[in-house]
A and B are shown apart, each in its own frame.
Chain A
């Protein structure tokens, strides 16, 4: 599984970085995206959904950041 670490990256750069990283994955592959609390965890999942990817789940870590699990969907 691919991990895309977007902690410390602010909106909308985090979303654009996620898009670029997802370009390297094959259709149907699962990725873990690490997101800060606040704006990033609120905005990035929704934008990735709007791009057509399948969101699978969100978990909060002990350190306070979030792990978004997602399945890459090629249009």
Chain B
């Protein structure tokens, strides 16, 4: 016998591994993970080659930034995985697992970005991707600033970059640019012709810092605003506030703590998402759990994930 090395196809692992059954006989979609939506140009070329060789006439870009190879015959699985180089391009997960994190371009080239969302997405992908939750899927998203283009609050854990501004009155030349730039109207000109901040109205966007010509405004604190319990689908929920100014390098640890609580509390509840578990247990249960590990960043109180009325079906 020639020593032909044949990779076995484990049919049970297929879905978990990002192989999704299509309508046609023998055909599958292969979902490739693209954490944060960033892909090197050589990798993109390689994927195009593989798609041309084994797939249909197009690829599909999933709503969560993955590239999906369409019309892959299951007999070609081994060859596809081999040619893509399994190690550097793992297929993306489906099922009750931590999914590939999505992220906007972040601060590297986007003028609004306050934090390095790409770095965070890569870290989460590396450390937590594919972790089984035991209950349901688990999605994470990173936005570079409070404008939240990636809709982070519709994820199980959603992060958006934030800064707290602080004013050095002596450096201020009373130009008024910051007041004009502050869309939430958290700034007004005071009697001394220097801006006055109403903290409750501030969304931590940093626009005042970015426009101030004299650096009178500067960054006091920087990190992530963290909302938990969001999801979309049949019964959408918007996640609510659990932490503020969480340092970027604590994101992985924080998600792990949320996962720990979710695994424990959802025991026996079947296929339930994190947001519904929070509604069932009450938001304080999760908040207290997080406070024990992240006392400096958790908020004093919060509310349960907010139900979105879709007006179709019985909610």
> A residues within 8 Å of B by Cβ?
41-42, 45-47, 49-50, 54-59, 66
Contacts and interface: CB of A to CB of B under 8 A. Distances in A.
A55 B212 CA distance: 8
B175 interface: yes
Interface of B: 111, 173, 175-177, 180-181, 183, 207, 210-211, 213
Contacts of B183: 42
Contact of B173 (A41, A42, A47, A57): A57
Contact of B111 (A42, A47, A55): A47
21 contacts: A42-B180, A42-B181, A42-B207, A45-B177, A45-B181, A45-B211, A46-B111, A47-B111, A49-B210, A49-B211, A49-B213, A50-B111, A55-B175, A55-B177, A55-B211, A56-B173, A57-B173, A57-B175, A58-B175, A58-B177, A66-B180
A66 B111 CA distance: 23
Nearest to B111: A50
Given A50-B111, A57-B175, 20 more contacts: A41-B180, A42-B180, A42-B183, A42-B207, A45-B177, A45-B181, A46-B111, A46-B207, A46-B210, A46-B211, A49-B210, A49-B211, A50-B210, A54-B213, A55-B175, A55-B177, A57-B173, A57-B176, A59-B176, A66-B180
Indicate the member of B173, B180, B210, B211 with the most A CB atoms within 10 Å.
B211
A56 B177 CA distance: 10
B213 A56 contact: yes
A45 B210 CA distance: 9
Contacts of B211: 45-46, 49, 55
A14 B213 CA distance: 20
A46 B181 contact: yes
Report which residue of A41, A46, A57 has the largest number of chain B beta carbons within 10 angstroms of its beta carbon: A46
A55 B211 CA distance: 9
